[in-house]
């Protein structure tokens, strides 16, 4: 969540629903299209530094699920349908539009409180 919103706090109760919707869409986009290298192991060296070992190739959480063998066929079809039906650029633009709207609503609520 901090990747999306930063360190700001949202204390306005009127923002709960728009924030939840934004996070739902961002999470779907992130899981379908954002490749990440998973941490395989960490080791603490003698000098106190931590050495991190990651997977050699970045992949999306969706790719990892589809590559595994533990999904039921219905779940596999659903993931493939989500990939087919969603465009990453359109999804990202929609998330950014929701974020912009969220910040505007927050500013409006704060301005109303200050008046």
Residue 101, domain extent: 17-114
- Each residue of 18-40: pLDDT tens digit? 889 999 999 999 999 999 999 99
pLDDT single digits (tens) 56-97: 999 999 999 999 999 999 999 999 999 999 999 999 999 999
Structure tokens given for 50: 């931590």
Q: How far apart are CA 60 and CA 78, in angstroms?
A: 16
C-alpha of 87 from chain center:
16
Alpha-carbon distance 115 to 55, whole Å? Answer: 53
pTM of the full structure: 0.78
User: Does a structural domain hold residue 76?
Assistant: yes
Other beta carbons within 10 Å of 53: 10
**Residue-by-residue DSSP string for 51-71:** EEEE-SS-B-HHHHHHHSS-S
pLDDT of residue 110: 81
The answer to the question of residue 3 being in a domain is no
Q: How far apart are CA 66 and CA 83, in angstroms?
A: 11
Asked, for residue 11, whether it belongs to a domain, the answer is no
Residue 41: alpha-carbon gap to chain centroid: 23
Examine residue 71 and state whether it is found in any structural domain, yes or no.
yes
Residue 41 has pLDDT above 70, yes or no: yes
83 belongs to a structural domain: yes
What does the pLDDT read at residue 115?
A: 62
Q: Which of 102, 95, 100, 106 is nearest to 24 (CA)?
A: 95
In a domain, 88, yes or no: yes
Q: Which residues pair with 54 in a beta bridge?
A: 39
Domain count, the chain: 1
Q: Specify if 53 maps to a domain.
A: yes
């Amino acid at each position: 969540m901090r990747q999306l919103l930063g360190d700001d706090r949202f204390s306005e109760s009127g923002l709960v629903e728009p924030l939840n919707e934004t996070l739902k869409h961002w999470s779907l986009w992130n899981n379908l299209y954002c490749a990440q290298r998973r941490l395989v192991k960490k080791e603490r060296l003698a000098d106190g530094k931590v050495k991190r070992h990651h997977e050699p190739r970045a992949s999306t959480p969706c790719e990892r699920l589809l590559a595994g063998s533990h999904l039921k066929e219905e779940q596999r079809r659903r993931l493939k349908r989500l990939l087919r039906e969603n465009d990453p650029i359109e999804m990202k633009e929609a998330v950014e539009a929701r974020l912009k709207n969220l910040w505007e609503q927050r500013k409006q609520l704060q301005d109303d409180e200050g008046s």
